Amino acid sequence: MEPQSVNTQQQTVIAPASSPAPEVVSQTTAQTPSVIPNVKKLPKLNVPQMPKVSFRINKKIVIIIGVIMLLGIIGLVIMSVIGKQIKNGSAPVSPESSPSPTPSSEPGQVIVSPYANDPGVIAIEQQTDDLDAALRNINLREDTLRVPTLDWDVTF
């Protein structure tokens, strides 16, 4: 024999407010029975529960980060205001003293290198002068190459 269950529904009726004391009437009505097939219950799984995380630490971290960001924004605003004042010249800038340069030699006088009379250095200088003269005399322009004329009247 298959198990049957009967669904019941309970209604609560409250009397109108015109009566001296509202009466509460309960009625229970039976609905049609439904047939539930034999279903095997599944075993309960032993799944470990996630540990509950305390939100006090998270709230503290959020508050600390918020305060740091707020201080950073306030600092940026102050820096931009001070920067604009310095740029406009309204804020005085203290002059900085710098040492005056001392000339090492008179203008026009060339300090001679100790290697100026070395034969290797003189040979390298002669070779570079020869290369400079050769590069000045080379004609890099190709007069024989011309750009071809293009036919602009192309139809498809």
CA–CA distance from 76 to each of 67, 71, 93, 96 (Å)?
Answer: 14, 9, 20, 26
The answer to whether 14 and 24 have CB atoms below 8 angstroms apart is yes
Structural domain of 86: 63-90
Strand partners, 24: 14
In a domain, 102, yes or no: no
In a domain, 153, yes or no: no
How many angstroms separate the CA atoms of 95 and 85, rounded? 17
In a domain, 45, yes or no: no
The count of structural domains within the chain is: 1
Q: Measuring CA to CA, which residue among 46, 51, 35, 31 is closest to residue 1?
A: 35
In a domain, 152, yes or no: no
pLDDT value, residue 5: 46
Does the pLDDT of residue 9 top 60, yes or no?
no
Q: What is the tens place of the pLDDT at every residue in 60-93?
A: 888 999 999 999 999 999 999 888 887 776 655 5
In a domain, 84, yes or no: yes
In a domain, 82, yes or no: yes
- Using a pLDDT cut of 70, give the percent of the chain over it: 63
CA–CA distance from 107 to each of 99, 110, 112, 114, 127 (Å)?
Answer: 20, 8, 14, 20, 29
How many angstroms separate the CA atoms of 120 and 116, rounded? 10
In a domain, 69, yes or no: yes
Residues counted in the chain: 156
| pTM (two decimals) | 0.25
Mean pLDDT of 9-19: 51
Does the pLDDT of residue 95 top 80, yes or no?
no
Does the pLDDT of residue 29 top 80, yes or no?
no
In a domain, 78, yes or no: yes
How many angstroms separate the CA atoms of 42 and 102, rounded? 97
